[in-house]
Chains A and B, each alone.
Chain A
Amino acid sequence: MKKWQEYGTTLIGIILLYIFLIVLMAVGLVNGYHQGVLVLIGINVIAATSLNLATGYLGQLALGHAGFMAIGAYTAALFMQMIKVINLPVDIALVAALIVGGLMAAFFGVIIGIPALRLRGDYLGIVTLGFGEIIKNAIFNLDFTGGARGYRGYLGSINLTKMYIIVAIVLTVLFLLIRSRHGRAMISIKEDEIAAEAVGVPTTFYKIFGFATSAFFAGIAGGTLAFYQKMIDPKKFTFMYSVEIFIIVVLGGMGSITGTVVAAVILGVLNEFLHVIDQWRLVIYSILLVIMMIFRPEGLMGSKEFSFVGLVKWLLKKMNKSSVGDDKDSASLEVK
């Protein structure tokens, strides 16, 4: 397969998946409530995949992701309020607000990253955790954020279609980034920072770059959360929320974007069943995590990825096997 064929296959796969979703909605198998759950899952997918960039690919333990989401949420909301006067079409304003929210989060990512990324492992985890708490408490005590009552103002709206598009774009960008020289540099830092530096990778730059990119997408996740819920509740962005996102990453597999998506869907669905016993939710998460660590410590997918290209190749192979001899043409499709 040529490169453009692979990209085309993936694009068609993404569109087919969306059509499948539309059909389910039309038939009535996915009702309004289910759509809401799916949007929340989408938000968690963005948040968790962005955390996976920092933790799974760059190898830096970050526990303050809810803080970056909060920054993204409030910035996007306030920006939306500001540009209300110029009457942009809602969707354009929405995209602009999300990007501004992401950029603000990335800016904070750089500010936090420069001193914090000198630390490693648990120490970095503690610093980022502290940062998340500082953000939350700052929001509680500032006036323009609406304090502990939460923010209510003019906010756009996000439905399942928009969410699907945003998730598809974020995942695509992450994939393309990881499979470039920049992604290779980040992975090499996770593998062995000293060796990476010794073969010419500017490690400090890439650590801060990766951390900021991760914060950028976390900011976008926060923005979509604000727009979906049409208000911002600062109590949402606690340490426990950061941990929830972290659990998704660990369950899905550090270093697997699609694994993170699968884990986010599983936990998102599980979440809905656990509402009746909400106080036990995190206990069940923890038990899940313990079981996972015993039986599959690398996560659901390890560092493997699901790909539409792989699926198509696999299907072609199956078809060829079942029709050997009578159909020479399909063999010339070049499966490898």
Chain B
Amino acid sequence: MALLETKNLGITFGGLRAVGEFEISIEKNELVGLIGPNGAGKTTIFNLLTGVYVPTEGDILLNGESIVGLKPYQIVKKGLTRTFQNIRLFKDMTVLDNVKIAFHHKMQYGVPNAIFRFPGTRFWKEEKEIDEKARELLALFKMEGSCNSLAKNLPYGEQRKLEIARGLAADPKLLLLDEPAAGMNPQETRELMENIHFIRNNFDVSILLIEHDMHLVMGICERIIVIDYGMVIAKGLPDEIKANKKVIGAYLGN
């Protein structure tokens, strides 16, 4: 059974059909790229998958279970997290706290325990546990040195990295990356590619990524899906996509 499967997924805003008949199936530990010209509907698809928009047609199955109509935070619990095209960090919080937020749904202690912190209660156990986990995760991304600095003070590339780390902290089965290389220089893009490889090798997670940097997409994705005007125009291996007439037409005009 595929990890993520969509059936005839679509959404209409008024008279505009932004996405239609979108079908995708992602297996465990796959790395899939989603590309297409500007305005093709890539981010809309991410918004559909993460529950920001409710699809007007079709179904989304995560592990065989429909997640249509669930709130974004409920979908995160089911194991699907994302990053954003324009970085959305909690800017005035520390790097460590940014990661800790993502553990929120894994924690159990209630408000009374937060106020009456008797020794040995859940509060201490869970706070200690996530503190260790968050530091561990940041160490994996070589960011342990900036644990206590504010997220807004990080360099751009590090902010991207932190957002991905935060997404991973929520312990997803599928991670959606929305243009992770946007605004990066070639050096930073290369590091990002290494990081994505690293995530694939060290975490038990599938990745679906939107990207305009073809070097990156062709370099790391196992499969690529191309959309234009909200419709899938091609699917296949990177080399097949490179040679596809429809894809070239969508990007360059016929």
Contacts and interface: CB of A to CB of B under 8 A. Distances in A.
B163 to A, nearest CB: 9
Contact of A176 (B50, B88, B103, B117): B117
Contacts of A173: 115
Interface in A175-208: 176-177, 180-185, 187-188, 191-192, 194-203
Contact of B73 (A177, A181, A183, A203): A203
B218 interface: no
A271 interface: no
A10 interface: no
Contacts of A192: 88-91
Given A180-B123, A188-B90, A192-B89, A200 B71 contact: no
Contacts of B88: 192, 194-195, 198
Contact of B92 (A176, A201, A303): A303
Contacts of A177: 111, 114-115
Contacts, number: 92
A200 B104 contact: yes
Interface string B79-109: 0011010001111110001001111110101
Interface of A is mostly: helix
A323 B92 CA distance: 38
B77 interface: yes
Contact of B50 (A180, A185, A196, A198): A198
B114 A198 contact: no
A202 B114 CA distance: 18
A255 to B, nearest CB: 8
B166 interface: yes
A188 B151 CA distance: 12
Interface in B43-70: 50, 52
Contacts of A182: 111, 114
Interface in B143-180: 166-167, 169-170
Nearest to A181: B107
Please indicate which of the listed interface residues B84, B103, B104 has the most CB atoms of chain A within 10 Å of its own CB. Answer: B104
Contacts of B71: 197, 202
**Chain A: number of interface residues, binned into ranges:** 20 to 34
Given A176-B114, A182-B114, A199 B102 contact: yes
Given A177-B115, A180-B123, A181-B107, A199 B92 contact: no
B182 to A, nearest CB: 16
A178 to B, nearest CB: 9
A262 B126 CA distance: 34
A198 B81 CA distance: 7
B76 interface: yes
B115 A199 contact: no
B37 interface: no
Please indicate which of the listed interface residues B73, B77, B82, B89 has the most CB atoms of chain A within 10 Å of its own CB. Answer: B73
B72 interface: yes
Please indicate which of the listed interface residues A197, A199, A201 has the most CB atoms of chain B within 10 Å of its own CB. Answer: A199
26 contacts: A176-B114, A176-B115, A176-B117, A177-B111, A177-B115, A180-B109, A180-B111, A181-B104, A182-B114, A187-B90, A188-B90, A191-B93, A194-B88, A195-B84, A196-B90, A198-B72, A198-B73, A198-B82, A199-B76, A199-B102, A200-B76, A200-B81, A201-B73, A201-B101, A202-B71, A303-B92
